[in-house]
Amino acid sequence: MQLKQLVITLGLAGVAIMGSAAHAMTIQDAWTLSAVGTTTTHVGHLGLNGGVTTVSQQVSQNGSPFVGAKFQEFGNIFSLNYVQDNVLGLGDFGFPLSYAQPLDGFRVVFTGLSGTVATYNSVTGAINYTFTPGVGSITLQATSNNAASWIDMATLSMQGASGGDLANFKGKNQTLGQSTLFLQFNSFMNGFNVDLDGPGLGYNAPTDLFLQLQTTNKISSPFKYSGACSFDTRLLCASGKVTSDGSADLFNNAAPLKIPEPNPVALIALGLLGIGVINRRRAKQLS
């Protein structure tokens, strides 16, 4: 192959490699999790039960929230059951009796999650809110002694596109709402691991994995004026409690066994070098 053709070929290959770096977010099915020395296979998704959240919501002098009002919450989703996969890529069915023994439970514990009110209807009391990405502490914990003690398994962080609604902020018990939390895994601890049932682990780092939690919420303790906000004493807050149940799906943001990507600067330098060589050859031919 002539030098000119070789350089052009290498340049086009570099562009193709750089263009293939992005990977689509995909939902996972038939995955495996390891915790407290056990391995549970063929997980479809997770069922969430027994969530209890305490919310401090900034309000105006008349006790009503408003657009831009801040809130903070803490609590946990006590029971995470797993739904067994049916066939890879198809619907899931039923709840197995338990995880692989002696693992007998998971929970999500969260502190300091924060956000703001996106909309508020002063007539109906309907409220929509969004969470602030990266704020607060979220930990996945496991137990092997019927919840007598808990072991940290992973840390997660809130990502964008997380938020929800409540039919009536000033409603009574059982007032309904929904929420979606998109959480990124930050780290695995104490032997916890996830296998996507592909080649290897099917991802490169815990940060390639995400949990999307979708819950139906109910007011269990109506919001009441509580004075200064616990998270900012300069603000006025109303406090209440919300219970939740729902499900969680695992997402992967990386193709299995990604090939290490070449340095873009090096590719650009290669292309410039090729152009220089071609120009010099042309100059010699013309002289």
Same domain membership, residue 80 and residue 17: no
| Residues 10 and 75 placed together within one structural domain of the fold | no
Q: Is 169 in the same domain as 95?
A: yes
Same structural domain, 15 and 148: no
Report yes or no on 129 lying in a domain.
yes
Which pLDDT score is estimated for 94?
67
Say what the pTM is.
0.78
Same domain, 117 and 59: yes
**Both 11 and 79 in a single domain?**
no
Residue 281: inside a domain:
no
259 assigned to some structural domain:
no
Residues 79 and 12 placed together within one structural domain of the fold: no
Shared-domain flag, residues 204 and 121: yes
Q: What is the per-residue pLDDT for 260?
A: 37
The domain in which residue 44 lies consists of: 25-252
* Omega cis (within 30) before 102: yes
| pLDDT at 188 (0 to 100) | 97
Residue 133 lies in a domain: yes
Q: Could you give the C-alpha distances from 19 to 3, 7, 102, 264, in angstroms and in order?
A: 24, 19, 46, 10
From the list 87, 220, 108, the residue with the least C-alpha distance to 154 is 108
User: Is there a domain that residue 280 lies in?
Assistant: no
Q: pLDDT (tens digit, 0 to 9) for every residue of the chain, 287 residues total?
A: 433 333 333 333 333 333 333 457 888 888 999 999 999 988 888 999 999 999 999 999 999 999 999 999 999 998 888 887 765 555 566 667 689 999 999 999 999 999 999 999 999 999 999 999 999 999 999 999 999 999 999 999 999 989 999 999 999 999 999 999 999 999 999 999 999 876 568 899 999 999 999 999 999 999 999 999 999 999 999 999 999 999 999 999 864 433 334 444 443 443 444 445 445 555 555 45
d(CA 34, CA 41): 9
The Cα 206–Cα 2 span in angstroms is: 46
Residue 95 lies in a domain: yes
Residue pair 26/256 in contact by the 8 Å Cβ criterion = no
Whether 38 and 123 map to the same domain: the answer is: yes
Whether residue 160 sits in one domain with residue 116? yes
104 and 193 together in one domain: yes
In a domain, 9, yes or no: yes
- Identify whether residues 3 and 44 lie together within a single domain: no
pLDDT of residue 84: 79
Q: How many domains does the chain have?
A: 2
pLDDT at res. 42:
85
Q: Tokens 């059951």 identify what position?
A: 81
**pLDDT at position 91, please?**
58
The predicted structure's pLDDT at residue 268: 45
* Domain contains 257: no
